[in-house]
Amino acid sequence: MQFADGRLAKPPIAVVEVQGYAYRARRELAAVLAHPGHRAEANDLLAEAEALRELIRRRYWRPGADGAPGSFALALDHDKHQVDSITSNMAHLLWCGVPSQQEAEQVAAQLASPAMASGWGLRTFSAEMAGYNPISYHVGSVWPHDTVIACEGLRRYGLDDAAMRLIGDLLDALSIFDDRLPELFGGHHREPSDFPVPYPTACRPQAWAAGVALAIVALCLGLQPDVPAGTVSLNPVLPRGLHRIEVHGIPFPGGELSVAHDGDGTKVIEAPPGLRVEAQAGPYG
């Protein structure tokens, strides 16, 4: 955990994405409790979640200077000082739904910048930070699952262009790694006729990385199931170079869903009886 100038943060450290997970967990559990009618408990959790969201935004947000976009700090250190480095950790807040729309757009500008977007995926650590190292485990490498989480967060705020650019980069890396992504790889800047630099001791296969391909499918479809309501929403968008996506055998109670999407629109190939497939306009999530 480094400051922008390379200093190490003093523990205990409150990392920003963990605060976002605590916020989203309360909202998700509130939905679970509300379904069978536990409204009071659900409302208590929603109130806790909203208070936590405002606290995160107040304690971690860093306004931009000299025309640069703002960002969320990596963490708070032992003395509650903001650890001011630019990292992919803040992208997890998008996945959790913490930032305002304006904050999310500034975070997206940071993630899409050459300092963060390597051309093969999202760096964990900005190339502009003093401690940046493209072949280091946490301060400059690319973690495929980290990139996908960031992209789902971007789609949740309707920032599809930034999300699909990163997904297109990751799909290029996937093809070079023979459709078997490693745990992580180097965050070196992509050049023409280049290839992603393998990390020497990365696990391959590795569970997080193996799940990336499935996550990309759901992300590109904009797949949002609501099993209790008997509905599934689709909001497809495709990255560069991908003109059609066809998915078979998505399991639902009562059967499987199969869909296809291309330039002519979205087609339901098969669906379980009673499942309503709906087109979703606007942000995904």
Summarised one tens digit per residue, pLDDT across range 72-130 is 999 999 999 999 999 999 999 999 999 999 999 999 999 999 999 999 999 999 999 99
Eight-class DSSP state of 221: H
> Is the pLDDT reported for residue 57 higher than 90?
yes
Maximum Cα interatomic distance, the chain, rounded to a whole number of Å: 59
Contact 123, 116 (CB under 8 A): yes
pLDDT in tens, 242-283: 999 999 999 999 999 999 999 899 999 999 999 999 988 666
Contact 148, 194 (CB under 8 A): no
The strand pair at 255-262 and 245-252 is best described as antiparallel
CA dihedral over 47, 88, 109, 172, signed as positive or negative: negative
When the pLDDT of each residue in the chain is averaged and rounded to a whole number, the result is 95
Measured CA to CA, the distance from residue 106 to residue 94 in angstroms comes to 11
Domains and CATH numbers, the chain: 14-221 (1.50.10.10), 222-285 (2.60.420)
Residues 225-240 have a mean pLDDT of 93
Measured CA to CA, the distance from residue 122 to residue 35 in angstroms comes to 37
What proportion of the chain, given as a percentage, has pLDDT over 90?
A: 93
pLDDT in tens, 168-177: 999 999 999 9
Q: What is the pTM of this model?
A: 0.95
Rg (CA), the chain: 20
Q: What's the pLDDT at 281?
A: 67
